[in-house]
Structure 1
């Protein structure tokens, strides 16, 4: 799939936190992001969510991710927050409800191509009994429906 997105990632760095650990948390789930330091925060930008999508597939949390993305979607994109501590371990754990004591990693995704829902389908496809409905994302050009194990 050809797409064009801007992903802005931000995490406040509290006085009690080690900046490098917050940077590691962000890099663990967004390895393609370029990190910079701002006053009291780390910010990053990337133009891909492929590695992040791979983690969603590996953790088998596509339905949860999809629900979070669609709940926070606009005509221009979608946003979500992740728990820092989980991200430090390389795990995606969406922050919902009250703020975590360590704070969150806030992510804003602006989608230029294709439309927002199609891009969400790419990052977190619909599933049937936990398996992605769109096997092309899972196997790319190698996909042969006759070889699929369902």
Structure 2
């Protein structure tokens, strides 16, 4: 049986005076292909209802463990949040923002999980690994 995921994703990216809005939009779309944007003063705000393309990037870059730690570190009963470095996103690379804020600002992502649970959705996006390889949950 296939699990149906119901999530709402809000993505915010500041647009500095020195930046072109379309370039910031391209950076966000490089990581989140199914985002729909609205412009607000000084920032782009996007909404999506899937993170499957983002999950593909996590698998390609082999950073599933890092992603899980970030998701779990910022998890609540209703979802989780994380921030990404905007400069890396311009290159289509996922780089979690930790420590000092970047001068261009960060891409902030808030995920509200409606179904199934937050833990199950995190497992879907960034499955647990063993020696860097995703582990089949039925084998655990």
> In the alignment, is residue 130 of structure 1 matched against residue 132 of structure 2?
yes
Partner residue of 1:32 out of 25, 31, 34: 34
Aligned to 2:70: 68
1:134, CA displacement in angstroms?
A: 2.5
SS at match of 1:125: coil
Cα-to-partner distance string for 1:26-62 (whole Å, 9 max, x where unaligned): 0000010011211111010000000000000000000
The number of residues matched between the two structures is: 137
Partner residue of 1:113 out of 112, 115, 130: 115
Deviating runs (4+, > 4 A) in structure 1?
none
TM-score of the aligned structures, taking structure 2 as reference length: 0.94
SS at match of 2:76: coil
Deviates more, 1:14-23 or 1:100-109: 14-23
Distance 2:50 2:38 in 1: 17
1:108, CA displacement in angstroms?
A: 0.1
Aligned to 1:93: 95
Cα-to-partner distance string for 1:55-81 (whole Å, 9 max, x where unaligned): 000000000000000000000000000
Distance 1:81 1:21 in 2: 18
Structure 2 unaligned spans of 5+: none
SS at match of 2:108: strand
Partner residue of 1:78 out of 77, 80, 84: 80
> In the alignment, is residue 8 of structure 1 matched against residue 13 of structure 2?
no
Cα-to-partner distance string for 1:10-36 (whole Å, 9 max, x where unaligned): 011111111111101100000100112
Taking the TM superposition and a 5 Å limit, the aligned residue runs for 1:40-55 are 40-55=42-57
